[in-house]
Amino acid sequence: MAFVARVKPGALRLRGRWPSQVHAPRRMYSQHPAHHTTPEHPLRVAVIGSGPAGFYTTYKLMAKIQGTKVDMYESLPVPFGLVRFGVAPDHPEVKNCQEKFEEVASSPDFNFIGNVSVGTKSDHPDGLTVPLASLFRHYNAIIFAYGAAQDRKLGIPGEDQLKGVYSAREFVGWYNGLPQHANLNPDLTQGEEAVVIGQGNVALDVARMLLEDVDVLRKTDIAAHALETLSQSRVKRVHVVGRRGPMQAAFTIKEVRELMKLSNVSFQPVDTSLLPPDLKSLPRAPRRLMEMLAKGTTATSQSPSETSKSWSLDFCLTPKAFSPSSSSSPASTQLASTTFERTTLSPSPFDPNAYALPTGETLTLPSSIAFRSIGYKSTPLPEFSDINVPFDERRGIISNDGRGRVQHEERTRGAEMSHGSFPGLYCAGWVKTGPTGVIASTMENAFATADAIIEDWVSRTSFLNLDRKVHGWEGVKSEVLKSGDDKRVVDWQGWRRIDEAERDRGRETGRSREKFTRTGEMLNVLG
């Protein structure tokens, strides 16, 4: 996934000290005085999810509330979430934030609990599951930071019935070695034309992976099975389709530039009537993006007739149906084309907030493979309904006050409805805001959640189990694990052994690492 890192490598470094020994920059934390726990009664926090949101929230908490004990739960044996499984393999610089997370994890007050799902049965046979209710009994605070593991669907004919229609989220996980999608095996040999529906950075990542020279990808940490499949691909033409225009598209200039610079890949001209006539009057970011599209449209260095592959940004098209070939067997289930309805933009194609209106005119694009890329979606943990944790199904987020405090509706004495916070429950990242932004915005999102926790801790309100000492993971283990189960739990040292094994595998083929794509393989490293 195109997490565009705006944080320079080494920024916010801890300079080799534990986070609990570091006072963060005054401008970042000045609104909160330092607050200490006591050795007898430390603040014990469970973080569910080991991606950027979980780690950045942990970083700030441990830096500001000295003595805080954090247990981080992860359903896989390996950490880092979408940094490992979502960032495109040809964007290694975006993964520099892992250095920061390694420093956080080096604290003796941090405990990684890998291969353990919370509330949701593990989706691999070697994983463990602990009930959310048990965490309620053994922590002062629980932070939900488990991200968005589902994607939004189009809801059109053929989406679930035809071979060749894939989720961009699953495709990204597949080429990045996510165990859940190791068996996706997309067939890229059925034809030369592909359609990607959606115009965000993930959509452009998918297009780039389909068009990039495989020899370039061989130098990255892309999954070995993806290299094999991509080396046999017949795809030569990729349509990246959106229902609105360039002024409303979600992609950023970095991703467009990278596609335009691919060797032996040309860019099909865009409809210039959708580009504002006076580009100089636009704010800097949209102006630069529109200028790049205009330049790419008129460039002659790599025309479609001179290259073996090409791509296009197809605007003002709404998907209506996926269809098999009409000339093939009536029972054919292989995708052959995608039908769209043309749209018009109101009130103006140059308004960033313009909305699409149907025209009734349709267009059918040949497509042997298609990817939907219209957004990720978080889902509630199964125990939420039992514990009455509110989840907004429409928005795909845990209901919260905007700063990360989990909220619920309650009736006042006057019979009016108001919002109250659940003691000790917080959320961060995409499960808090929805799937939006880049790593830098996720960091700010996580820091805001940490600020809310710090404020509540200073006032000694809104926490779990303040009347007694709690023991975190040790208490959970004693309550729910059977004899021998703890041998299947992966700690940070276990992750480092897996990490080193992957690097050793990579060195054999001249790559930075070769990932394990099965949890069983990861666990075999640990014996």
Residues contributing to the annotated binding site for NADP(+): 199-202, 243-244, 255, 437
Whole-number Å distance between alpha carbons of 374 and 197: 7
Place of tokens 């130098």: 219
Selection from 57, 79, 81, 83 nearest residue 68 by Cα? 57
Cα–Cα distance list, 385 to 131, 132, 332, 388, 390 (Å): 13, 11, 42, 5, 8
Binding-site residue set for FAD: 53, 74, 82, 118, 430, 437-439
% helix, strand, coil for the chain, step of 5: 35, 20, 45
Residue 215: both structure tokens together = 């020899």
Specify burial of residue 200 (Cβ count, 10 A radius: 0-12, 13-18, 19+): buried
Selection from 98, 76, 199 nearest residue 489 by Cα? 76
Cβ(321)–Cβ(339) under 8 Å? yes
Sign, Cα dihedral of 130, 133, 134, 139: positive
Binding-site residue set: 53, 74, 82, 118, 199-202, 243-244, 255, 430, 437-439
Whole-number Å distance between alpha carbons of 50 and 83: 10
Whole-number Å distance between alpha carbons of 43 and 54: 16
Q: Which residues of 55-65 are buried (b: 16+ CB within 10 A; e: fewer)?
A: bbbbbbbbbbb
Cα–Cα distance list, 296 to 136, 230, 303 (Å): 55, 26, 10
Cβ(413)–Cβ(188) under 8 Å? no
Cα–Cα distance list, 363 to 17, 317, 333, 495 (Å): 60, 8, 21, 50
Enumerate residues 6+ apart whose C-beta is below 8 A from 350. Answer: 247, 276
Selection from 194, 196, 197, 163 nearest residue 369 by Cα? 194
Sign, Cα dihedral of 6, 8, 14, 18: positive
Cis peptide before 347 (omega within 30 of 0): yes
